[in-house]
């Protein structure tokens, strides 16, 4: 297998963390690629031009984090990161969805910030700030109630990845004030070897 990734992508980081947690990291070749580049080495495999992209040994190409995590679970059925049979009451999928919703909003926010300042949309920026803050407040309450505790799973990997992205790449938004439980949760998971090994560069 071969994983195409960008070191700054929180979506790709989820898969990189999962590979380490599942003990598959050494079995997967990795290639760092550029994004938004018409000459990117990724494009022959994924015309959408997004990471993560995983090429299987038979040539099948998987894209999008959720799909790739689901595939990796088939290789390690004894310890699924993302139970798809409802055996956990669908809680892991639900919590993963909340983390992904936050991540998707941050991605929209960042795209707007990359535009020249005079072309940015104040309503879009305001909407994404409100969305992110509202979601982070909800996550604070969820963490207080133990929602993201326990063994490493996709929900924990997803939330750790998006908060790590905000810490190092999206520093426009200071998410920590007033969210002590969420901040402590992140500081703890950030010390896991899989997260230390995939630390994104400062943006």
Residue pLDDT, tens place only, 91-118: 999 999 999 999 999 999 999 999 999 9
pLDDT in the model for residue 86:
86
The mean per-residue pLDDT over the stretch 119-127 comes to 97
Residue pLDDT, tens place only, 1-25: 999 999 999 999 999 999 999 999 9
The mean per-residue pLDDT over the stretch 150-161 comes to 97
Residues 54 and 102 in one domain: no
Q: Quick check: 82 pLDDT over 90?
A: yes
Residues 187 and 95 in one domain: yes
The mean per-residue pLDDT over the stretch 65-93 comes to 93
For the chain, give the mean pLDDT. Answer: 96
Whether 185 maps to a domain, the answer reads yes
Residues 62 and 113 in one domain: no
Q: What share of the chain has pLDDT > 70, as a percent?
A: 100
Q: Quick check: 78 pLDDT over 90?
A: no
Whether 203 maps to a domain, the answer reads no
Which CATH number covers residue 31? Answer: 3.40.30.10
Residues 16 and 66 in one domain: yes
Q: What share of the chain has pLDDT > 90, as a percent?
A: 94
CA distances from 135 to 2, 13, 70, 195 (A): 34, 21, 25, 22
pLDDT in the model for residue 36:
87
Residues 188 and 95 in one domain: yes
Residues 135 and 165 in one domain: yes
- Return d(Cα 69, Cα 15) in angstroms, integer: 7
The mean per-residue pLDDT over the stretch 187-192 comes to 98
Number of domains in the chain: 2
Residues 56 and 99 in one domain: no
Task: Compute the chain's Rg from CA coordinates.
Answer: 17
Whether 84 maps to a domain, the answer reads no
CB-based contact 161:190 (threshold 8 Å)? no
pLDDT in the model for residue 203:
82
State which residues form the domain around 44: 2-75
The answer for residues whose C-beta is within 8 angstroms of residue 1's C-beta and 6 or more apart is 27, 28, 29, 54, 55, 56, 57
Residues 54 and 119 in one domain: no
The mean per-residue pLDDT over the stretch 172-197 comes to 98
Q: Quick check: 175 pLDDT over 90?
A: yes
pLDDT in the model for residue 157:
98
Which CATH number covers residue 106? Answer: 1.20.1050.10
- Domain end call among 25, 42, 75: 75
Whether 100 maps to a domain, the answer reads yes
pLDDT in the model for residue 79:
85
Residues 22 and 101 in one domain: no
Provide the edge-to-edge strand list for the sheet that holds 2-5: 29-32, 2-5, 53-55, 61-63
């Amino acid at each position: 297998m071969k994983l195409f990734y960008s070191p700054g992508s929180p979506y790709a980081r989820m898969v990189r963390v999962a590979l380490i947690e599942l003990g598959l990291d050494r079995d997967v070749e990795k290639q760092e690629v550029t994004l938004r580049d018409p000459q990117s080495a990724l494009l022959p495999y994924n015309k959408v031009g997004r990471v993560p992209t995983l090429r299987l040994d038979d040539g099948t190409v998987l894209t999008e984090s959720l799909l790739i995590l689901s595939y990796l679970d088939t290789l390690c059925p004894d310890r699924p990161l993302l139970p798809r049979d409802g055996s956990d009451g669908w809680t892991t999928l639900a919590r993963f969805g909340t983390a992904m919703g936050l991540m998707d909003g941050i991605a929209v926010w960042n795209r707007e910030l990359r535009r020249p300042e005079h072309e940015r949309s104040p309503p879009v920026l305001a909407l994404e700030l409100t969305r992110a803050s509202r979601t982070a407040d909800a996550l604070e309450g969820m963490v207080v109630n133990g929602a993201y505790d326990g063994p490493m799973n996709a929900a924990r990997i997803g939330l750790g990845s998006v908060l790590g992205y905000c810490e190092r790449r999206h520093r426009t938004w200071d998410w920590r004030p007033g969210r002590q439980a969420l901040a402590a949760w992140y500081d703890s998971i950030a010390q896991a070897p899989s997260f230390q090994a995939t630390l994104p560069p400062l943006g």
